[in-house]
Chain A
């Protein structure tokens, strides 16, 4: 890649202290995100998948600094934002926006739809009140809401409409990248398609980049240019979409893909059933974190952690036995 990436993440770590004992000292750490690196080019969508509790949402929040990362560096359009102060960070928020999973709780129930979409413009003092109102109307129209709905309150909208509101709010400041924290997981399937298509259209129109966090592989395959697979706070495989879905290398990715239901009554896929649960992120297994559930693990996997190694085509995998 020759272009400067819109977003570059280097060795991002987020540990949550587990407090206990008499003085509330940190007795352990939940290693929600444990050293993650990737880059997103302008106009590109990176899908980030993994099962519940693997830390994928935390990645999004740490990049946005809605939670403070424990270590690592986030570079937005060539500028390191990890060390920015409060005011400087607020200024940077114009370039990086977020769409949340839950369209019910991510909108303030006491504000009208118009106020919700207008708020970012008010925060940054963009334009006069009248200009702001015009911009809100334009945003409403762009995401498929009627301008007269601006006076309605969130509870008067359906789930899909609320998510459109969330998208309009994210677009208001004209960001270069939007982080979608499972933006369609809470919607039913027909509405999911509409919202995703809207996101794809907007990407083409506005040259947006997306970090698309999700657990639904079908959705991720549809929207992403590249896909990263997370397991227990680490990326185990990252590759262009086609490569990942056609020739998955990591055994965990294989298992995930095998779990996707096939929309055909007689077609059967080879099932790979992982045994056991995800180990605790407080005390992750030594060596390769996946070795406790891996069908092909060898003794080496219990001791040495495999590095994430990429090939020329940009397909990277962290496994001792499989290489790209």
Chain B
């Protein structure tokens, strides 16, 4: 069986192995989201080759130039090329979005499965999760930044920690529902051990909601990174990210609006495309909602 990101839905309705094209026509909105996202990811990954200038190169003579043939998105206060900086800024957002989604999903999955399966662990773990949920992400980031040196990985940690409880709750809820199913009892009766019970019978059921949740987490991580950078507690200023480009540009917004326009548009499109994709995946993976489309 094919193991695309849609693996879960294929497992659910294995007989309907529609071609990719048919699938795309059936779900136009997520297709648009996916295409847009692919474009943005490609532009970020390909930044070193696509970019017309070195994003760090300063041309004081050309400072605050409006968009023109040489500087497609104009230049900033130091005369750096905005087009190149915007593309490179996407790399940070991309790394953070993916890293946070993967880290919080994996950690949340492990904790959620334990909490859902073992009663005693449940009581303890869920109270810790409640505690974590009470920590505002931005304050945590500020605290972590003041304790350590600013780096992309500290930002990842700062955004991941408040996301974990949400994943844990989701996974725990699914595990609690599935563990009461008779086929779990049946599996115990035929001598299925705990590891196999988890991998074969319980985890596959968490996959669909988890994939959807991961997309939302990625979108929100991209946004939070830009808040943090904007506030000066995020990505270190020498690394261009959409957040700190916007933060630097806001000083000149009256005379050089393009300094915040282009990174903002890219940021908005990235978040929008991930959210559309996530919505679409939810509808596709949930047969009850799929009819509506």
Contacts and interface: CB of A to CB of B under 8 A. Distances in A.
Given A93-B190, A106-B183, 14 more contacts: A66-B188, A98-B189, A100-B186, A102-B182, A105-B181, A105-B182, A105-B183, A106-B182, A108-B187, A111-B200, A123-B190, A123-B192, A169-B186, A173-B191
B26 interface: no
Interface residues on A, range: 20 to 34
A107 interface: yes
The 3 A-B residue pairs with the shortest CB-CB distance, nearest first, are: A120-B190, A93-B191, A106-B182
B185 interface: yes
Contacts of B189: 64, 66, 93, 97-98
Interface string B158-199: 000000000000000000000001110111111111001000
A94 B190 CA distance: 7
A119 B188 CA distance: 11
B290 to A, nearest CB: 15
Nearest to B178: A108
Interface string A85-105: 000001101100110101001
B12 interface: yes
A173 B187 contact: no
Contact of A119 (B15, B182, B192, B205): B192
A110 interface: yes
16 contacts: A90-B193, A91-B191, A93-B190, A94-B191, A100-B182, A100-B185, A107-B183, A108-B183, A108-B187, A108-B200, A108-B201, A120-B191, A123-B190, A123-B191, A169-B186, A173-B191
B11 interface: yes
Interface of B: 11-12, 14-15, 181-183, 185-193, 196, 200-201, 204-205
A16 interface: no
A120 B187 CA distance: 8
B182 A90 contact: no
Given A90-B193, A123-B192, A110 B204 contact: yes
A153 B14 contact: yes
A119 B183 contact: no
Contacts of A169: 186, 190
Contacts of B193: 90, 123
A173 B189 CA distance: 11
Nearest to B189: A98
A90 B185 CA distance: 13
A239 interface: no
B190 A119 contact: yes
Nearest to A91: B191
Contacts of A110: 11-12, 204-205
A139 interface: no
Interface string A41-55: 000000000000000
A111 B181 CA distance: 14
Contacts of A93: 189-191
A235 interface: no
Contacts of B190: 93, 97, 119-120, 123, 169-170, 172-173
A170 B189 CA distance: 9
Interface string A120-154: 10011000000000000000000000000000010
A255 B188 CA distance: 37
Contacts of B14: 153
A191 B11 CA distance: 29
B15 to A, nearest CB: 8
B82 to A, nearest CB: 49
Nearest to B192: A123
Interface string A165-179: 010011011000000
Interface in A41-75: 61, 64, 66
B188 to A, nearest CB: 6
A183 B287 CA distance: 29
Contacts of B181: 105
A119 B191 CA distance: 9
A93 B11 CA distance: 29
A97 B189 CA distance: 7
A94 to B, nearest CB: 7
Nearest to A97: B189
B196 A107 contact: no
B121 to A, nearest CB: 16
A66 B191 CA distance: 11
Contacts of B11: 110
Contacts of A120: 190-191
A225 B3 CA distance: 51
Contact of A66 (B185, B192, B200, B201): B185
Q: Which of B182, B188, B196 has the most chain A CB within a 10 Å cutoff?
A: B182
A119 B183 CA distance: 12
Contacts of B196: 123
A111 B204 CA distance: 10
A100 B192 CA distance: 16
Contacts of B15: 153, 156
